[in-house]
Amino acid sequence: ASSIVDTFPLEGLLPKKETGAITFLTKYPENDGRGIVIAIMDTGIDPAAPGLQVTTDSKPKIIDLVDCTGSGDVDTSTVVSAVDGQITGLTGRILKIPTSWNVPDGKFHIGVKFAYELFPKPLRERVGTEFRDKVWNPQQRAALTNALRDLEAFDKAHPNCSSLEDKTTREDLQAKIDILNSLDKKYTELGAVYDCIVFNDGERWRACVDTSEEGDLKATKVLACFRECHEYGQFSQADMMTYAVNIYDDGNLLEIVTNAGSHGTHVACIAAGNFPDLPATNGIAPGAQLIGLKIGDTRLGSMETGTSLVRAMKYIMDHNVDLINYSYGEASHICNTGRVINLITEVVNEKGSIFVASAGNNGPALSTVGTPGGTTSAVIAVGAHVTPQMMMAEYSMREQLPAMHYTWSSRGPSHDGALGVCISAPGGAIASVPNWTLRGCQLMNGTSMSSPNACGSIALILSGLKANNVHYSPFSVRRSLENTATKLEDVEVFASGQGMMQVENAFNYLVKYQNSAGENVHFTVTGPGNSRGIYLREPPQVISPTEVTVAVEPLFEKDTDPSRKISFQVAFCLTCTQSWVQFPNSFLLMNANRTFNVKVDPRGLPQGAHYAEIRAYESSNVERGPLFRVPITVIVPTRIVDLTNYSISSLGQHFKPGHIHRRFIHVPFGASYAILKLTSQDNEKPGRFLIHTLQVSPHQAYKKHEFSKFVTINEKGEGVYAFSVLGDSTLELCVAKWWANIGDVILDINLSFFGAQLTTSTPVMHGGEGIARFDIISPLKTEELNPSVSLKTVVCPLRPVDYKLRCLSQFRDQLKDGRQIHAIELTYTFHLHKAAEVTPDCAMLSDLLYESEFESQMWIMYDKNKQFVAAGDAYPHQYVTKVEKNDFTILVQVRHEKRDLLEKLKDMVILIKMKLAAPLNLDLYPTWHAAVTGGKKLSQFTVQKGLSLPFFVSQIPDDKFPKGCGPGWFFTGHLTLSKDEPAKSKSGTKFKYFVSEMPAKTKSEVKKKENHNNKETLGKEKFTSDGMNEALRDLKISWISKPPAATSATIYNELRQEHPKHIPVILGRINALEAEDKDLFDKQDKTANFNEIIKLGTEGLSLVDTEALLSYFGMKLDTRPEAVSIKSDMDKKKQWLIDVLVKVGVAQAESIFLDRDAGDDQSYVPVEDVNKTYLELCKWVDIADNKVFPFAWRHAAVISHYGRALKIIMKQQEERPSKELELKIIDLYKKLGWKHCTEYLEKTTCIRYPAAYRPF
């Protein structure tokens, strides 16, 4: 039996002991962050979350909340005035203006916002589920039950159901059931729709969001900009989502600030949460104040964008911000450069704000630090550590393990040689999350958590410095952190940086050395190509000594007195931590760029990773620690000695929790993929492992050549995994036991290389080639292969149909010194012939964010009704959207300061990538002859070592091209070589197939077209008077079809006299009358209009010899010589007959609807007449034909078969959605008494049919 422990280890929930924060606070309780402002650049902060209301000295905890993304923007440029205390919102609701509102100018700016545009996905899912269960499902079940009972009662009363009336009645009852079942399956909760009102009360701008959705503004909250009044609201008790507002451009733009996820609130609470009633759970700096800068875009699932980052930097330039926490980042292709990085550097170097960021969660392989954290000189990157106290309090682990770094914490060095990780801090915490999660707090871990822990700790230091009037700079603070950090036992420097930061030691360091030479100077260290360190990794770099010239230049704080720059001079003594580095012992630096030479001799170093640092100490003050460092990393790879199997093994490797087996291997020249085999020697327990392999390539992000996979190896089990490799390059192989996986396990590790590959690394085939030849070579060993080509995606390139260059908002998008940001907005259109998964890709700018020259490349896709479909930004593979057949518009926005640079993008091509419904497999042949003749296809074969073999690929069959495909399109997929998995998917390469001219029409299609042309040109090949007269007649008919009907009456009468039996003349007149009906509002006028249509239609019907038509279409075969011309004539007459019947039927039905709406029991048009028209139509055409649609649904509605009518309209709505049809559906719902369906459509119509596109 175990004893009860009655004390909970609260100190482990949000760790402060490890960094010395708790000791510092005990010693200096008032230096708890007071006077310090921290900007949290994240998903946004919930001001109602626990611990985020006030500081320890009773100041507002949150100073400002800003949405930098644009996802909360509402266009409020529409200005209206109240009439009788009311205005009409853009939703169509009547909004009652409370008498308590003070609006001196009487002007109201109005807009509309959809709630789900503001909610993160988890909240949308929760609210949608709850609404369905509470509101939709009960009414839906009741309606379905009633419909089933009605059908059962009918079947009981009509067991035979033989008459047409009974059949259509039963069809109507069944249609109601079918529709209700379909609605239930397709139901998607689209969320609330809010009217937004902005006005000026004479002192400031204010905004009101109609969260009542009823126009009752008295019951809603009126807010001013958050920075002015620190007010916020809540949308509803159901969602618990809080919001704040900001108002720009003289009331024309409302910004509703919510949060895109729980991450930002959690981060904010770690840094500065304050719980007066339970101080043990406080954040690190409870006295600090916060600014919430939302950079995670809700439209993108909380992904950061260039727009949001630049706006955040602009905000910080304009306001007093001491610290920035940034728990975000991505893998980048280039270090320490790019538009966003340059602005971050400007904020740090010129504004003096300290930028703290997460190092990344992409370890354990080296060179996995993210951007900006580990790749930007101006940023302090923080790694993530876990301690026994955290394991017990946060993770409830049954055994205490030694302190360690989390397995996934990213490691340095960066690709340009910088160490990457600066310091470490605890990387897990249980802290507050937004109220909409319905949780008070939550466990999260990651460098996202170590960064705010470090940031809060730095806030304590700054609070103490300010209290003691000690001057500091971002450079002096970073130096103090690095020089006082505690080395972490058994944690490599690439993971920990200089070690675990220590608050009190860093504070004392800054106080002690505040007046020392160069204390507030940043020493920039650069090598060749602007590298920030020396990184020797590839085999040619480590076989002989390397000499590097290192440049050092002092960077002073902004507005530093020139005399200080003149007098600046520091004599450095240089040391190094390793003997294999040669360097000068002394170095004198003044205000100039000076260099010294370093020689690195890796010869004799054992295999593995080696790190050295050249440290520069002030010669007269050595105890102060290094003022700058030159990081040096050398990787010595293992060479493969088994040149038969090209394999390497590590047997009997003992894995404890958190242990990393790291091995660097020189991949043999010619290798293209590898197979890793892990075998457990343990008889009792499984092990949880992270496999991570990595190769580094110039100007490519580490993810380009990375393989990462979590695996479980069972007792005495094995796992086999394949991945691609780059030949003649260093591969890092990491096998790491998951840090929290208790127990020791012994593994055998075997890695084998294979080299079967094409002689070209980028196989491309053009359809015009007909047959393409490719050669396979196997440079390492003889291999069994079975090549195949599978195409999975078709790509359509698009050029813009329009573009606009515009100057953006001054308040949000103009940097200091008047640097105005501009945007180019490009418009693209395309048609999707059938449902598919679509990925828009701005290929020229893709996969570039922090390192991009441009600020943003955001796209938004809309359907033909302007409904938002999807959005994306820098990383297209993250934004795959399944869409139905439709017409689509894509708007793309790119931003930059330089307008001329944007002008160059006006013809930028984007790629629309569409996943094929099924992979398209190309035929492969062993010989050209077989490919030409369609002979025996290529099958499994053997490629001897060092030899090459060709194979031939035939073109895509004509019938396999998707509809709409044309020249310039291309297919992408994969060419695989190996015959078995797991190697199969990794043994080949990407394959592209470009489409040439599309195949010619089939014979039947050509013949059909010829017949059509014959019909059109019959008797018109040469000039004839009859032909000319017919052409003039048809031209006049086309004009009399246009409203107003009164204007064309004279021409119509003339045509009737000249062509009394030509039905198109009557149809033209009816078309004009139908078009005119939309402008008639008086019942008497509309009735007269319908009566005239019915009269004209009746005349037209009398002109058709229906018996002759029936006789003709009853024939099986017409053998007459003039059969073609006869058929053309009969088809025309039949179509005229159908058109007239449909138009007469529509007029009859509309006349009845008009009388019913007016309350007239007896209609001028009897229902029997409508039924006769319907029965006559049934003789000539399938009633489900789209041509009959306008009358078919109306006939069903006339005889009160609303189920049938609804089914007909809904089918049409699926194929060609329109607002007009939706309004008819709403009307039928009302007639059926389906209140829940009516309310759903009425509430969400403006979501599906918005008046304008969303703002970027």
1123 CB-near residues (< 8 Å, 6+ apart): none
The answer to whether the beta carbons of residues 414 and 367 sit under 8 Å apart is: yes
Q: What is the dihedral of CA 164, 170, 172, 174, to 10 degrees?
A: -150
Phi, psi (rounded to 5 degrees) for 931: -70, -40
Cα gap 1172→1101, rounded to integer Å: 13
Cα gap 810→1173, rounded to integer Å: 64
Q: What is the dihedral of CA 335, 336, 338, 342, to 10 degrees?
A: 170
| Of 59, 41, 61, residue with least CA distance to 51 | 61
923 CB-near residues (< 8 Å, 6+ apart): 931, 937, 953, 954
Cα gap 865→14, rounded to integer Å: 50
Tell me the CA distances in angstroms from 282 to 38, 211, 267, 445, 1169, one per residue in order: 16, 34, 13, 17, 80
HSE, CB side, 13 Å, CA atoms: give it for residue 439: 12
Residues found in the chain = 1256
3-state helix/strand/coil string of 279-339: HHHCCCCCCCEEEEEECEEHHHCCEECHHHHHHHHHHHHHCCCCEEEECCCECCCCCCCCH
Beta bridge partners of 379: 355
Q: For residue 849, what is the DSSP state?
A: S
Q: Give the tokens for residue 406.
A: 């989390």
HSE, CB side, 13 Å, CA atoms: give it for residue 1220: 4
Phi, psi (rounded to 5 degrees) for 928: -65, -40
Cα gap 94→111, rounded to integer Å: 13
User: Helix axis angle, 447-467 relative to 503-512, nearest 10°?
Assistant: 40
E strands in 370-433? 379-386, 404-405, 423-426, 428-432
The whole-angstrom distance between residue 271's C-alpha and the CA centroid of its chain comes to 28
727 CB-near residues (< 8 Å, 6+ apart): 667, 668, 669, 670, 671, 672, 755
Cα gap 365→661, rounded to integer Å: 10
Strand, coil or helix: what is 141? helix
Strand, coil or helix: what is 788? strand
List active site positions: 42, 263, 448
| Of 821, 891, 858, residue with least CA distance to 310 | 821
Cα gap 207→198, rounded to integer Å: 4
Strand, coil or helix: what is 769? helix
Beta bridge partners of 1208: none
The single-letter code of the amino acid at 127 is: V
Beta bridge partners of 990: 974
Helix (H) or strand (E) holding 65: strand 62-67
- Neighbour tally for 37: CB within 10 Å: 22
Cα gap 122→260, rounded to integer Å: 10
The single-letter code of the amino acid at 4 is: I
Strand, coil or helix: what is 660? strand
HSE, CB side, 13 Å, CA atoms: give it for residue 476: 25
The answer to whether the beta carbons of residues 34 and 463 sit under 8 Å apart is: yes
